[in-house]
Amino acid sequence: MASLHDMKKFFITATSDLRVRELLSSNLPRGTNIENVLDAGGIWLKKKRVHDGETIVPSGETIKVHISTFQDKTYFLDIKKDIIFENNDFLVIYKPPDLNVHQVPSSFYYNLTYGVNQYLKESKIHFESTPLTRLDRPVEGLVIFSKNKDYERRLFDLIKRRKIKKWYMCATEKTNHPRYTRVIDRISNDGNRTYLDTNGKDADSLFIKTNSTERIDIYSVFIFTGRRHQIRFHASQYISPIIGDWFYGSSRFLIHDEIALMCRGYNIPYKKTNLRIRIPESFIKNFFERITRYRHK
């Protein structure tokens, strides 16, 4: 699977009024597939994507060029496998590890949101959906998408009021920590990394050890606040880094660019019921098989 770590960025300034295609052909490394870069939306001028190679770049203007290994790919849902739940108002979709939920600078087409909206379009549903929950790129699991504007507002409100409950699962290296670890602190994120901050926002996580092997502890994780990288940071700070999460100190790497963290389920109030949506057991089995095949740093 392609990884975002295989991405390059170039800044090219026009010395005279030139077409985008001319700038690319004379400034990018030999062998670059310029048409792929254009088609995927990897060219940016004045904070907008440029798909047309004939677009004129005025003298003195700079274009940003984002190139990635997945630029020639488009993400489509596997309808039988990836749609975990669907009713008239929303869907719950499985996101594999090493895939972005949103579009990225190098590609408009290779992300979960694009796949969901193509599915809605093919289903004759005229609504441009955006994810109501998010997962970091290396994390796998369930993401909620609305199918209409009215329920998008309702779900946003439920999330804001913390009425939608999330259940995560993670794996760390084996430790002597007790079965229950409750973490309450204050954290901030600088746009990249999360850190302890007495002036930051409240962060509240509960880790429950559910299983152990000779090398690995498995935790169910429940979060009572939704801060960026909250589970990843709390695990690394108070228990042990999540396997594969080199960003927060893990010395173990998984086969793909992923970490051993999964959003496993939601409890969602819906009309007069409480929907319990869980990832299928086949995904759990696959998760366990993958996390045991780590390699050392």
pLDDT at 153: 97
Q: Do 145 and 217 lie in a common domain?
A: no
**2: in domain:** no
Q: Are 225 and 134 in contact (CB under 8 A)?
A: no
Last residue of a domain, one of 68, 85, 107: 68
> Do 185 and 205 fall within a single domain?
yes
Return d(Cα 244, Cα 5) in angstroms, integer.
Answer: 14
Tell me whether residue 1 is in a domain.
Answer: no
Give the CATH number of the domain where residue 62 resides: 3.10.290.10
DSSP assignments along the chain, one per residue: ---TTSEEEEEEE-SSSEEHHHHHHHHSPTT--HHHHHHHT-EEETTEEE--TT-EE-TT-EEEEEEETTTT------HHHHEEEE-SSEEEEEE-TT--SS-BTTBSSSSHHHHHHHHHHHTT------BSS---TT-EEEEEEESSHHHHHHHHHHHHTT-SEEEEEEEEE-----SEEEEEEEEEE-SS-EEE-TTSEEEEEEEEEEEE-SSEEEEEEEESS--TTHHHHHHHHHT-PBTT-GGGT--EE-SSS--SEEEEEEEEEETTEEEEEE--HHHHHHHHHHHTS-EE-
| Residues contacting residue 26 through CB under 8 Å, at least 6 positions apart | none
Low-confidence ranges of the chain (pLDDT < 50): 1-2, 4
The alpha carbon of residue 122 and the mean position of all alpha carbons in its chain are separated, in whole angstroms, by 24
Mode of pairing for the β-strands spanning 180-189 and 83-86: unpaired
Q: What is the pLDDT of residue 1?
A: 42
Query: Are both 36 and 127 inside the same structural domain?
Result: no
Tell me, what CATH number does 98's domain have?
3.30.2350.10
Q: Is residue 59, in this structure, part of any structural domain at all?
A: yes
* Predicted local confidence at residue 256, as pLDDT: 73
> Distance between CA 81 and CA 78 in Å, rounded?
5
Structural domain includes residue 82? yes
Reading the block at residue 240, the tokens are: 């042990």
> In the prediction, which pLDDT does 4 show?
46
Give the range of the structural domain holding residue 104, as residue numbers without chain letter.
74-161
Asked whether residue 228 falls in the same domain as residue 137, the answer is no
213 shares a domain with 167: yes
For 109-156, the pLDDT digits (tens) are 999 999 999 999 999 999 999 999 999 999 999 999 999 999 999 999
Could you tell me if 78 and 60 lie in one domain? Answer: no
Give the number of other CB atoms < 10 A from CB of residue 85.
16
Beta bridge partner(s), residue 203:
185
Residue 135 counted as domain residue:
yes
Choose the final residue of a domain: 52, 68, 84. 68
Closest by CA position to 38, among listed 22, 29, 49, 28: 49
Nearest by Cα to 127 from 107, 152, 108, 103 = 152
pLDDT for the residue 291: 84
Strand-pair category, 140-146 with 261-270: parallel
Cα–Cα distance between 287 and 93 in angstroms, integer? 17
Q: Are residues 194 and 276 in the same domain?
A: yes
Q: CA 197, CA 237: separation in Å to the nearest integer? A: 13
Residues 179 and 260 in one domain: yes
Cα separation, 206 vs 34, whole angstroms? 48
Sign of CA pseudo-dihedral 174, 176, 177, 180: positive
Q: Is residue 101 part of a domain?
A: yes
Identify whether residues 149 and 167 lie together within a single domain: no
Domain annotation covers residue 219: yes
- Write the CB contacts of 57 (distance below 8 Å, at least 6 apart in sequence): 14, 17, 18, 19, 20, 23, 45, 63
Same structural domain, 237 and 277:
yes
Number of domains in the chain: 3
Examine residue 89 and state whether it is found in any structural domain, yes or no: yes
191 and 295 housed in the same domain: yes
In the listed set 144, 161, 178, which residue is the last one of a domain according to the structure? 161
Do 185 and 293 share a domain, yes or no? Answer: yes
